[in-house]
Amino acid sequence: MAERPYIVGNWKMNGTRAMLSEVRAIDRSSQRLMKVEVALAPPYTLIHAVHREVEQIGVGAQDCHPGVDGANTGDISASMVADAGAKFVILGHSERRENHNESSELIRAKITAAVEAGMRVILCCGESEATRDAGDAEAFVTKQIRESLPDVLDNPTDQLTVAYEPIWAIGTGRTPTLDDIAAMHSSIHSTLVDLYGEDHAAQVRILYGGSVKPDNAKELLAVDGVGGALVGGASLAAESFLGIVLAA
């Protein structure tokens, strides 16, 4: 595991102000666990409120628009989420790629917008079950990463985290074998070496995401090359999320 594991909760389309009590509990406990970096990505509507509640944990957004401003009804720019208190943004989640037809080209433009707004990026990647069964998972993920990442980042070490999230493991209770996770993380690392060089790639954390729970977190986080976890369902309650943080 990386020296300081990174555990990030993705609340997806869940959460109202009533859930700020969970945020306070997560933040208070995280203050005692300095060796783990903890962050939450609530929906847009809660970013500012969460930002005001927390002292220890990071706050991020689940998406942003690639443009700076203008006539885009219902969209939110990178500088707007940064202004609300977000320090990072999750981009390329499979639910955005599928439900909103987001291409890797669009995700690349969003990454550029996010770093220009001074935010860190968590780039998600991952294959479908059919792609894995066909033996094409690593090639598919390599292509996704190459197409989604800008050729140049000022400082990939600070600006980038990658989250490997096999689509078939998200919210299903299923996970890849530990060997398959290790192989994919090693392949992603090699792609980052090709793109940004050995020194930067060594510092970019690669998270695993997909049905991480308190009872499987320890073994998943111990896999070679796994630098933390991106957690969906189990991040919605302080008790289960902190169970994962404690396992890290």
What residues act catalytically?
93, 165
Type of residue found at 13? M
Query: What is the CB neighbour count within 10 angstroms for residue 158?
Result: 13
The answer to whether residue 47 forms part of the interface with ligand PEP (CB under 6 A) is: no
In terms of CB distance, is 195 or 247 closer to ligand PEP? 247
The set of residues, in sequence order, having a beta carbon less than 8 Å from that of 66 and lying 6+ positions away, is: 106, 109, 110, 112, 113
In terms of CB distance, is 66 or 166 closer to ligand PEP? 166
In terms of CB distance, is 203 or 216 closer to ligand PEP? 216
The answer to whether residue 231 forms part of the interface with ligand PEP (CB under 6 A) is: yes
Task: Candidates 210, 225, 227, 228: give the one binding ligand PEP (CB under 6 A).
Answer: 210
Give least dist CB 152 to ligand PEP, A.
27
The answer to whether residue 15 forms part of the interface with ligand PEP (CB under 6 A) is: no
Near ligand PEP by CB under 6 A, which window of 32-40, 65-73, 182-190, 208-216? 208-216
> What interhelical angle do 20-30 and 238-247 show, nearest 10?
20
Size of the site for ligand PEP (CB under 6 A): 13
In terms of CB distance, is 98 or 198 closer to ligand PEP? 98
Q: What does the block give as tokens for 248? A: 């890290």
Task: Candidates 15, 156, 166, 209: give the one binding ligand PEP (CB under 6 A).
Answer: 209
Give least dist CB 118 to ligand PEP, A.
24
- Cα separation of 7 and 248, whole Å? 8
Q: Which of residues 162-181 bind ligand PEP (CB under 6 A)?
A: 165, 170-171
In terms of CB distance, is 89 or 195 closer to ligand PEP? 89
- Is 87 annotated as ligand-binding? no
Q: Are 120 and 163 in contact (CB under 8 A)?
A: no
The answer to whether residue 10 forms part of the interface with ligand PEP (CB under 6 A) is: yes
Name the site residues for ligand PEP (rule: CB under 6 A): 10, 165, 170-171, 209-212, 230-234
Instruction: Enumerate the known binding-site residues for substrate.
Output: 10-12, 171, 211, 232-233
